[in-house]
Structure 1
Amino acid sequence: MNLQQLRYAAAVAATGSFTKAAAEEFVVQSALSQQLRKLEDELGVRLFERTTRSVTPTPAGEALLPQIRQILAGVERLGADARAWQGAVRGRLSVGLMEVPPERLDIAALMAEFHSRYPEVAVTLRSGGSDLLVAAVRDRKLDIAIVGLTAESATARLEFTPLLTEALVAVLPANHTLAAGPTVTTAELAACPFIDFPPGYGLRHETERGFRGLTRQVAFEVTRVEQVAQFVRQRLGVALLPESVARSHADAGLALRPVSDAELRRQVNLVVPATPAGSAACLAFVRCVTEFAGERAVTE
């Protein structure tokens, strides 16, 4: 067994194709296939089901591929950490990002700050729902992620660092009957059609928690804040959004009201694997983002 064989296996899993994996690894397909067969012979299990149309991991492959990725990530960290001892932080960093309003955490400004400190770290950004990002960190497909889940609602083997928290407010059409009062209740909102994010998004988790015990109708599921505001303006339903997000999209067509009978809050967390410790680049990013978020909180 050697590292090149493990790299080939990871490439096939990522691309779903021997041809594409061979191209990415700059090797002919026959050589890649031969090395993977040797790896499977040594392990005593088949890692992939091969058909004329697709390549998919076997159950054994699903179980072993996260360990293969972890080994490869560990080797990369070893080189990066060795260079860090020489006074330089280099390497690659993959960061997962939920949608965070720039009013609360300006990702572009954060990346500019990180790049100014560590210009030799190449950063890849991936967006998505919090559940998917947490799973990607757990499976070592991402080094680190900024998510809208709390440690209690997520999973073990991960370390969560709170970055910011804020209240959720009801977002209503301006001429909605509920907009006549200063506040609304969860029961009143539950009686209305809802515009919400799909399951797996942090805000959906918080909304479900706040409406536990109540039945509500989710009329539309969308993935972007702009769509939430647009749908509410069209009187397609009501929604819950973090206060800063709601205010940034507020206009004459929308009314924002606090929810009086439930403590609804969105917490944004930084999530990394609990063990082993991340690479030098990952640890540098943790320091940078926590300092950046802390300075933002102080100025507010």
Structure 2
Amino acid sequence: MDLRHLKYFLAVAETRNFTQAAAICYVAQSALSQQVARLEKDVGAQLFSRTSRSVRLTAAGELLEPLARRILADVDNAQAALDALSGLRRGRLRLGLVQTRASSVDLVEVMADYHARYPGIDFHVTNAPSSEMAAAVLAGDLDIAIVGLGPRQIPDGLDHRVLASDPLVLIVPADHPLADREVADLADLPESHQLIQFTQGSGLRRQVEAAFARAGVEAGQHFQVGQIHDMIRLAARGIGVTVVPRSSIIDGGSVAGAAPEARLPFGARALRLADDAAVHIVCAVHDSRRLAPAAAAFLDVTERHTTK
């Protein structure tokens, strides 16, 4: 089985189009079709169901797709391991980054430190919902993902390190019935509350919905926003209420030793939640069975920053 054939197969599987797959692989369509046909002969099964209008994976194709991804990922990792013999002078790190800020670790500083130590390693950074990135690590498409998932939410087969545990806070407009409180229970929200939610599939979304479930009330969704800063501003304008990590409203202070101070837009109030389990957990997830040296080095650098 030729690795090139597997790459062509995956290109067709992803695009569902032989012409587009050939363009991605920089080969003529006729050549790509011949190589896929040769792969089908090698495995003894038809991998695609072709019509004049569509290309679909057969049962054999669906079985081969995740295996092909793992095979190619293992080949990449083997190359990375060989690169490690030369002191990580070259290589690649496929990194998934959570879309929310981790309270106790500055990921930009981690990446800058890593690059200073290993300047020959190329970064390939992905930003996506946490559940998608964790699945990508499991499939071998990412080496490491920094995700907003708790240990129980991480797929089986993956290892994890907790990097941060950030309390969630309720953001309400200044004229809200709960605005004069310091601490609030989500069950105290009026039945007609409008909730501003983060992106579907994100770790934060899961943790907020879990907090509402513990409170015995429906989370609901009236707005879905992809930026936490916008969620807070919308709440300040009276559009609804929102629940965000405390770190998203805290300024670490520009002067060394200065105490953190809340930075909220005018008209917004932040209330601590009575639910101690309402936290935004950030983890680094990886598959220890296929952890490339470049990825292992990144975990070590991250560990140094989280234990400072």
Same fold, TM-score > 0.5, yes or no: yes
Q: Cα gap change, 1:84/1:294 in structure 2, threshold over 3 Å: closer, same or farther?
A: same
Q: Alpha-carbon deviation of 1:30?
A: 0.9
Q: After superposition, what is the alpha-carbon deviation per residue over 1:24-60, rounded to whole angstroms, capped at 9, x for unaligned? A: 3332211111111111222233333334455443343
More displaced stretch, 164-173 vs 249-258: 249-258
Unaligned runs of 5+ in 2: 252-262
Q: Cα gap change, 1:50/1:231 in structure 2, threshold over 3 Å: closer, same or farther?
A: farther
Matched with 1:124 is 124
* Correspondent of 2:284 among 256, 270, 274: 270
Q: Cα gap change, 1:73/1:259 in structure 2, threshold over 3 Å: closer, same or farther?
A: same
Matched with 1:292 is 305
More displaced stretch, 111-120 vs 57-66: 57-66
Structure 1 length-normalised TM: 0.90
Is the 2:88–2:121 contact (alpha carbons within 8 Å) kept by the matching residues of 1? no
Amino acid at match of 2:265: D
Is the 2:102–2:164 contact (alpha carbons within 8 Å) kept by the matching residues of 1? no
Q: After superposition, what is the alpha-carbon deviation per residue over 1:102-154, rounded to whole angstroms, capped at 9, x for unaligned? A: 76433332222111111111111111111111111111121210101123123
Matched with 2:17 is 17
Matched with 2:99 is 99
1:227 aligned onto 2:230: yes
How is 1:126-205 mapped onto 2 (pairs within 5 angstroms)? 126-189=126-189, 191=191, 192-205=193-206
Q: Cα gap change, 1:93/1:174 in structure 2, threshold over 3 Å: closer, same or farther?
A: same
Unaligned runs of 5+ in 1: 296-300
Matched with 1:236 is 239
Residue aligned with 2:226, SS: coil
Matched with 1:250 is 264
Q: After superposition, what is the alpha-carbon deviation per residue over 1:182-239, rounded to whole angstroms, capped at 9, x for unaligned? A: 2111211363211112431111111122122322332112221122112212211111
Amino acid at match of 1:48: F
Q: Alpha-carbon deviation of 1:21?
A: 2.7
Q: Alpha-carbon deviation of 1:177?
A: 1.8
Aligned mates of 1:121, 1:190 — CA distance in 2: 52
Is the 1:206–1:265 contact (alpha carbons within 8 Å) kept by the matching residues of 2? yes
Aligned mates of 1:167, 1:37 — CA distance in 2: 55
* Identical counterparts, % of pairs: 35
Residue aligned with 1:152, SS: helix
More displaced stretch, 191-200 vs 8-17: 8-17
Aligned mates of 2:156, 2:112 — CA distance in 1: 32
Amino acid at match of 2:234: F
1:40 aligned onto 2:61: no
More displaced stretch, 47-56 vs 206-215: 47-56
More displaced stretch, 72-81 vs 212-221: 212-221
Is the 1:147–1:270 contact (alpha carbons within 8 Å) kept by the matching residues of 2? yes
Residue aligned with 1:187, SS: helix
Q: Cα gap change, 1:149/1:187 in structure 2, threshold over 3 Å: closer, same or farther?
A: same
Residue aligned with 2:12, SS: helix
State the Cα RMSD in Å: 2.1
Residue aligned with 2:69, SS: helix
Would you say how many aligned residue pairs link Structure 1 and Structure 2?
294
Residue aligned with 1:179, SS: coil
Matched with 1:74 is 74
Q: After superposition, what is the alpha-carbon deviation per residue over 1:9-28, rounded to whole angstroms, capped at 9, x for unaligned? A: 12323444322332333322
Matched with 1:209 is 210
